[in-house]
Structure 1
Amino acid sequence: MNTAVITSPTLSHEAEAVAVRIFASQRAAHRKSPVPSLESRRRNLKTLERLLLDNQDDICRAICQDFGNRAHQETKLLELFLSVDGIRDCHKRLAKWIKPQSRKGSIWFLGARNTVIPQPKGIVGVVAPWNYPLFLVMGPVTSALAAGNRCMVKMAANSRNLCVLLQRLVAQHFDEETLAIVPGVSGSFFSNMPFDHLIFTGSADTGRQVMRAASDNLTPVTLELGGKSPVIVAGDFDLKIAAERILQMKTVNAGQTCVAPDYVFVREDQVATFVQHCRATASQRYPSLQTTDYTSIIDQHAYDRLMGYFDDATGKGARVINLLPGNISSETACKIAPALVVGVDDNMRVMQEEIFGPILPIKTYRTLDEVIDYINDRDQPLALYLFTNNRQVQEQVVSFTQSGGVAINDCGLHVAQHDLPFGGIGASGMGHYHGYEGFVEFSKLRPIFKQFFRPAFPLLYPPYGALFDRLIKLMLGR
């Protein structure tokens, strides 16, 4: 357990003082009750579920206000449902997860017993981003509470309305010794607190800063960092179905998703057909940019960055294809239409940076080997998507690439599978949560060895002699 003390002689901000007080309260509560019962953990999960179900409309309104526009239906599907479904799955499986695990012992320690017990780490800090501000709070909190920990949550500045709402709701339903939302605290201050585990979701650059800050306290970290997730459309797969499924994950939340497709490989001779299907699909789902079903870009800075990709790409010879009728953007609504970029090369910013918006570059290819080499020459992505019914191709891509997760013949749905761990690798992050892996991530798997009351091991104690030599020769097998 991390026992470092928070010291801040120049502490002047009220929010930081509140965070320090809550941390001390949670630390004291953890020491008083370090291993909460199954019943208390289940009660916390049920309370969390009830908090979400009883306040659905308020949550949807708050998130819509933070974005400028986001359909309530989208929030209910992608944030409320996934959060509640994850809580229920965890509640159902928790009794099995917390049981001590019997482990095999060495034959040379006859009669001894080995056991592994999952114990809470203590206090878990959760740093959540703005793009899925509910789900990316509730997912880690569910895993941490199931493991018996106490939680403090820092939300993004762009989630002000939801943060205020959740702080009030959490305070009504939970003691701050168990769970607290701490608004107004800077990321640097929060990351420097001596948590027993810290989970951060966000950009790779900020993730590096978080990891450096956590290292001062030797705090273990889980990092979910995103990256450029590629899509491969093999020649055997139906292009219409591929376009429909790829665009669903690329346009939901206006592409502001860490596992959104970032660029797609299409065979040279199939690009025109793929573009046609993308046009038809996008315009059918969103008849105009002004529809309330389509989410706004989170703020002006993000809007300007995305529009800059268009200028950079066209200035270097690429072609931008607006998938909706009318203008490609609306600055007043802070919206950008789904768009394809064809004729891209690696000198363009759209191919160098994580897009995090509704822009999809198309790269052409002739052989699968060149696609695999391209992916492997770059940072490991958080997700990799492959569309093919050819099992040999599936095995080749999975075996010869690395990514946080893989979805075959669809995009993003692996995140909604509660019995699959979610996490990155390399530049896309480290550690896992969701389901059992989330429970384990926030637990200390503590090994317990219990000696037999009449052990044989003392026969190996010094002084060494002929008996020791015979025994060690027997143990070594020669």
Structure 2
Amino acid sequence: MSLPDASLAERLQQLRAAHAKDPTPEWPARAKRLHALETMLNEQRHTFAAAISADFGQRPTEETDLLEFFPSLSSVRHALKKGRGWMRPQRSLPGLTFLPARNVLIPQPLGVIGIIVPWNYPLYLAIGPLVDALVAGNRAMVKMSEFTPSFSALFAEQIAKYFQPNEVTVVTGDAEVAQAFSSLPFDHLLFTGSTAVGHHVMRAAAANLTPVTLELGGKSPAIIGPGARFDNAVERILFGKLVNAGQTCIAPDYVLLPRARMAEFIDVAKRTVTKMYPQLAQSKQYASVISDRQYARLIGLRDKAVAAGAKVHLLGDAADDASRRLLPPQLLSDVGDSMDIMRDEIFGPLLPLVPYDTMDEAVAYVAAHPHPLALYLFEEDGALIDSVLARTVAGGVSVNDTLYHIAQHGLPFGGVGPSGMGGYHGEAGFRTFSHMKPVFRQARLNGAGMLGPPYGAFFHRMVNMLIKRG
């Protein structure tokens, strides 16, 4: 069901009017909103998890706790601990020429932030940007995914209980609503989702000159270096790939590994999956694919690759089960760049293996493809790690692990080029949703008048001296 455009505009206007009355909330007001989020998360933990699982068909509560509740609560608590300090004006001295004036950067709320939430982590990818918007003193309008209808409706209902509608409001609805939402004149719009939809969001925002933060995706590589702890690398890659059944924007999308160790990777992977998911076919700790459409897309990617010459290596003791949207972990070898599975983001439990003969070849492969949202490197040689980091571009990197760079409050999260633009999390998110207003404060006694017209000999001497000094 679609929400009328007028209703969206009215909600935005209500938020704008409230912001105009209190454009720079003091810390107690911001902290109160953050505490409301914290209380909601604690009180609704189990109902939220149940709704998310219902939308997926099966989503392990353990994964929702680890990958959604923990980082959501952690981000709230970090903002409560650090937010007052982020609000302080940042003072600095001007250049020697302009003394005794003073410079200051004053963080100022932008106003109303629009947040478009994807289906794969519907709680964390709503709460994360919402925390940053609120700690920066903004109000927010959140569009939930139509592909998680149970959770989206519940989240909207609960936000309405814990917040006034002129503080945070939640919108549900289909793609038509999402299009109308992205066309609203927000003060900043954050979108998390596919690159294809990101084009449409950015185009809609451009009509209003709305600044955007795009968190997209792409094909995030995992590189196993010659000096890696091999079994550990396989285990951590499979962890990053298989939580949420691979439906993670920063999941490893393919593995670059030494050619001589291909068979070893497959053997270790089989043992690892058996250990992680014993009796996979009956396991309650392995997520379903979100929808029939996504399931069919993944089956199509795999089968087209096989038809083009790829080989499938099944991990675990389960078979495809369309009725439950169960897709067991599968490795693919003998893949080629012309295959769709090596061109499109997979977003599921299929993992291509790409052999290399030298690390230079592996690095060149990554550099020749669009910049990924994440890069994973497994290696113990510090010089080689530094070399790979210097020669590759990615939104974020984890060395000797997967996924966990996204959970670091001190690191911004974001893409680069085709994988996105801008970033947030922690202080970086505070700055994304603030205008860092530069202010130059002239001293009462100053020499600025000596540089005004009429321009005579004294002016020219002074200008030449300034130019010489730089």
TM-score by length of 2: 0.98
Q: Percent identity?
A: 43
Q: Which residue of 2 aligns with 1:312?
A: 304
For 1:40 and 1:19, how far apart are their aligned partners in 2? 25
Q: Which residue of 2 aligns with 1:381?
A: 372
Q: Deviations over 1:79-115 (max 9, x none)?
A: 0111001110111011110000002212222221111
More divergent stretch after superposition (72-81 vs 287-296): 287-296
For 2:150 and 2:299, how far apart are their aligned partners in 1? 26
Q: Which amino acid aligns with 1:315?
A: A
Shift in Å, 1:449: 1.1
Report the secondary structure of 2:23's partner residue. coil
Structure 2 vs 1, CA of residues 130 and 14 (structure 1 numbering), >3 Å: closer, same or farther? closer
Q: Which residue of 2 aligns with 1:293?
A: 285
Q: Which amino acid aligns with 2:332?
A: V
Match of 2:231 among 240, 243, 250: 240
1:119 matches 2:108: yes
Match of 1:440 among 431, 439, 461: 431
Shift in Å, 1:336: 0.3
For 1:324 and 1:151, how far apart are their aligned partners in 2? 44
Q: Which residue of 1 aligns with 2:396?
A: 405
Residue 310 of structure 2 contacts residue 332 of structure 2 at CA under 8 Å; is this kept in 1?
yes
Q: Which residue of 2 aligns with 1:5?
A: none
Q: Which amino acid aligns with 2:30?
A: R
Q: Which residue of 1 aligns with 2:210?
A: 219
Structure-to-structure mapping, 1:155-234, within 5 angstroms: 155-184=144-173, 186-234=177-225
1:267 matches 2:236: no
Shift in Å, 1:54: 0.5
Q: Which residue of 2 aligns with 1:48?
A: 37
Residue 145 of structure 2 contacts residue 173 of structure 2 at CA under 8 Å; is this kept in 1?
no
1:324 matches 2:313: no
For 2:236 and 2:388, how far apart are their aligned partners in 1? 19
For 2:4 and 2:142, how far apart are their aligned partners in 1? 13
Unaligned runs of 5+ residues in structure 2 are: none
Match of 1:77 among 66, 74, 98: 66
Q: Which residue of 2 aligns with 1:465?
A: 456
Match of 1:143 among 132, 139, 144: 132
Q: Deviations over 1:159-193 (max 9, x none)?
A: 11111111111111100111011112611100000
Q: Which residue of 2 aligns with 1:6?
A: none
Q: Which amino acid aligns with 2:302?
A: F
Structure-to-structure mapping, 1:308-387, within 5 angstroms: 308-327=300-319, 329-387=320-378
For 1:101 and 1:164, how far apart are their aligned partners in 2? 41
Query: How many pairs are equivalent?
Result: 466
Q: Deviations over 1:307-357 (max 9, x none)?
A: 112211111111101101142x10011010011001111121110100000
1:33 matches 2:22: yes
Q: Deviations over 1:177-222 (max 9, x none)?
A: 1101111261110000000000000011110110010001000000
Unaligned runs of 5+ residues in structure 1 are: 1-11
Residue 387 of structure 1 contacts residue 410 of structure 1 at CA under 8 Å; is this kept in 2?
yes
Question: Which 4+ residue blocks in structure 1 deviate beyond 4 angstroms?
Answer: 12-15
Shift in Å, 1:14: 4.4
Report the secondary structure of 1:223's partner residue. strand
Residue 239 of structure 1 contacts residue 273 of structure 1 at CA under 8 Å; is this kept in 2?
no
Shift in Å, 1:387: 0.2
Q: Which residue of 1 aligns with 2:78?
A: 89
Report the secondary structure of 1:444's partner residue. strand
Residue 15 of structure 1 contacts residue 182 of structure 1 at CA under 8 Å; is this kept in 2?
no
Q: Which amino acid aligns with 2:315?
A: L
Report the secondary structure of 2:253's partner residue. strand
Report the secondary structure of 2:440's partner residue. strand
For 2:244 and 2:79, how far apart are their aligned partners in 1? 26
Q: Which residue of 1 aligns with 2:244?
A: 253
Q: Which residue of 1 aligns with 2:273?
A: 282
Structure-to-structure mapping, 1:420-431, within 5 angstroms: 420-431=411-422
Residue 146 of structure 1 contacts residue 439 of structure 1 at CA under 8 Å; is this kept in 2?
yes
Q: Which residue of 2 aligns with 1:453?
A: 444
Shift in Å, 1:13: 5.4
For 2:281 and 2:330, how far apart are their aligned partners in 1? 12
For 2:6 and 2:97, how far apart are their aligned partners in 1? 55
Q: Which residue of 1 aligns with 2:119?
A: 130
Report the secondary structure of 2:335's partner residue. coil
Shift in Å, 1:250: 0.5
Q: Which residue of 2 aligns with 1:395?
A: 386
Shift in Å, 1:289: 2.7
Residue 395 of structure 2 contacts residue 414 of structure 2 at CA under 8 Å; is this kept in 1?
yes
Report the secondary structure of 2:272's partner residue. helix
Structure 2 vs 1, CA of residues 107 and 295 (structure 1 numbering), >3 Å: closer, same or farther? same
Residue 404 of structure 1 contacts residue 423 of structure 1 at CA under 8 Å; is this kept in 2?
yes
Residue 15 of structure 1 contacts residue 183 of structure 1 at CA under 8 Å; is this kept in 2?
no
Shift in Å, 1:18: 2.7
Q: Deviations over 1:132-163 (max 9, x none)?
A: 00000000000000000000000111111111
Q: Which amino acid aligns with 2:306?
A: T
Q: Which amino acid aligns with 2:286?
A: Y
Q: Which amino acid aligns with 1:279?
A: K
Match of 2:95 among 91, 94, 106: 106
TM-score by length of 1: 0.96
Shift in Å, 1:15: 4.4
